[in-house]
Amino acid sequence: MNFKKIKKWMLITLKWIFICSLIGIFSGSASAFFLVSLDFFTQFRNQNNWIIWFLPLGGLLIGYLYFFYDSKIAKGNNLLLEEYNKPEKRVPFMMAPLVLLSTLITHLFGGSAGREGTAVQMGGAIADLCTDIFKLDKSERRTLIVLGISAGFASVFGTPLAGALFALEIVLFSKINFKSSVLSFVVAYIAYFTVEIWGIKHTHYSIPLVPEMTFTTLFWLLITGILFGFAALLFSRSTHLWGKLFSKNIKYPPLRPFIGGIILAVSIYFISTTKYIGLGIPMIVDAFSIQNAPYDFLLKILFTGFTLGAGFKGGEVTPLFFVGATLGSALTAVIPLPIALLAGMGFVAVFSGATHTPIACTVMGMELFGMDSGVYIGIACTIAYFFSGSIGIYKSQIVKGPKSILYQSIRKKGLKYL
């Protein structure tokens, strides 16, 4: 028995457990503070809708913050993916407070955005601090970035299994390794329990009725999966389109969210509702029991794509939940499946298509809705994944595997728009 090797292995193991603990505790605490703050600002806006008229000023502040500090960190989640695929410079720690402040400003004044981007970026920035502290090499930096993404996602949604898998799957087929896989689950649970200790409560959903699987239900399941995939494609392309339009037509970056804020504030005034701004959690919850209008999901895509494309901060995942749940709810008008099941499938399937993460989304669905609906959710997520196009919400994500093979063959046949 080689005691030196055993001792070395034990020291390495203890080091990484310690690193996971640091990342999990600090990322979880950051997410807890963020969730409490976000809830406070959302309630304040709901009680004082006049504040939406200050959205342009909020956008101008966000624009200047990123322009004068470091335009590199404006890439957000894409920066984390770029550093994972090709490690060069440490992720600036200022990414964490900047994205936190900017997201709170976005939600306070009425932008339509999510929260996962904020938590993931905070987790990534916190995790990368360990690079210098523990003198880690490029390979170990990749592990740190996976841990940061895992901790951020798991803590903000209260889904540790899905958080760990999301971090792994979003860089899947790249340079993932066994160590990262194990540690991703460790840090996800540490971050998750940290938020629990802080007393933060997550939104609960349920699917009370799951029908027996038959050829008829399978047929409708295939149809809905395709529609969810198309919704994911529309969401991703919309966000990228607005970003390109703002970049092309407004050369001075700080003015993009300012002008975008003016258009958003006026639009919210004319449609006379605030249903499509912020996170939209009440609409998501209602979608499980009340049939939505067929245009609700389209308006959320429009408002979120415009908000993020203009340069406001937040995330895309909760709006994707909104889009999927309200689309599923609306489909009950023509598809004979329980409303809660359709809303739940859409909730995770549109997310699956837009992020190329069907495994994580299937697990997330089972964590949120229970195991009984697992087969339906798994099939819906897989179909949406294949029908959502080759480009998701993260431009820097490397997509390989079966989806990559599929779309390479499609392009050879001249269908490049997919």
Domain boundaries, the chain: 3-197, 215-412
State the DSSP H helix or E strand holding residue 186, giving kind and residue range, or none if neither. helix 178-197
215-412 and 3-197 share a CATH fold: yes
- Global pTM? 0.94
Q: How far apart are CA 363 and CA 369, in angstroms?
A: 10
Given CATH 3.90.1300.10, say whether it is the number of domain 3-197.
no
Instruction: Give 35's contacts (C-beta < 8 A, 6+ positions apart).
Output: 115, 156, 195, 200
> What CA–CA distance (Å, rounded) separates 23 from 127?
6
Please name the residue that has the structure tokens 């499609």: 410
324 contacts: CB under 8 Å, gap ≥ 6: 228, 231, 297, 343, 345, 346, 347, 348, 349, 350, 351
pLDDT at 171 (0 to 100): 82
Residue 415: what pLDDT?
A: 57
> 215-412: CATH homologous superfamily?
Clc chloride channel (1.10.3080.10)
User: What are the pLDDT digits (tens) for 248-282?
Assistant: 999 999 999 999 999 999 999 999 999 999 999 99
Q: How far apart are CA 341 and CA 343, in angstroms?
A: 5
Q: Low-confidence residues of the chain, pLDDT below 70? A: 1, 71, 172-178, 399-418
Distance CA 78, CA 116 (A): 13
What gap in Å lies between CA 84 and CA 86, rounded to an integer? Answer: 6
pLDDT, residue 265, reads: 97
Tokens of 240: 């990228």
Q: What is the pLDDT of residue 114?
A: 94
Query: Each residue of 307-330: pLDDT tens digit?
Result: 999 999 998 999 999 999 999 999
Encoding tokens for residue 342?
């359709």
What residue has token string 């390979």? 139
Amino acid symbol at 414: G
How many other β-carbons are positioned within 10 Å of the β-carbon of residue 157? 25
Say what the pLDDT of residue 86 is. Answer: 87
Q: Which two tokens stand for residue 394?
A: 């993260």
